[in-house]
């Protein structure tokens, strides 16, 4: 299973659903750490240093910063960006599908979903 970093903006109702469906989920919530309030590039750097895939609703800036890391040859375990405008059951399902795809494709070190 992937090691996840849950962004501050991520809907915790979805996280609760993920934990129910995937009890072995290895996650760390940003707001429960010293990372709370950190800028996106620094958060992605921390995620890379700690081999965690970032899960976020930030579709505007986070994928852009992740792509910049990849283009610069920096380590990037991945980003799972989930649209906030989907109904919560569809967001949960999309997260689970992304986790399954990412787990199977973990040989590809840099992925942005």
* Domain ranges across the chain: 3-104
* Distance, CA of 67 to CA of 94 (rounded, Å): 21
Give the mean model confidence (pLDDT) for residues 32-58.
95
Instruction: Please say whether the beta carbons of 77 and 102 come within 8 A.
Output: no
Contact 57, 7 (CB under 8 A): yes
How far is residue 90's CA from residue 43's CA, in Å, rounded to a whole number? 26
pLDDT tops 60 at residue 66: yes
| Alpha carbon distances (Å) from 93 to 10, 54, 83, 89, 90 | 15, 17, 12, 6, 5
Determine the pLDDT at residue 107. 43
pLDDT over 50 at 70, yes or no:
yes
With cut-offs at 50, 70 and 90, classify the pLDDT of residue 42.
Answer: very high
- For residues 1-28, average pLDDT: 88
Q: 0.85 exceeded by the pTM?
A: no
Determine the CATH number of domain 3-104.
Answer: 3.40.50
């Amino acid at each position: 299973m992937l090691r996840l970093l849950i962004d501050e903006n991520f809907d915790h109702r979805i996280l609760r659903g993920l934990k129910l469906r995937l009890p072995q989920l290895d996650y760390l919530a940003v707001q429960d750490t010293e990372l709370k309030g950190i800028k996106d590039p620094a958060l992605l750097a921390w995620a890379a240093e700690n081999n965690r895939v970032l899960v976020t609703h930030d579709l505007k800036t986070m994928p852009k910063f992740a792509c910049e890391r990849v283009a610069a040859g920096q380590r990037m375990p991945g980003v799972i960006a989930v649209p906030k405008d989907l109904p919560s059951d569809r967001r949960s399902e999309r997260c689970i599908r992304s986790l399954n795809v990412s787990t199977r494709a973990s040989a590809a070190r840099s992925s942005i979903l």
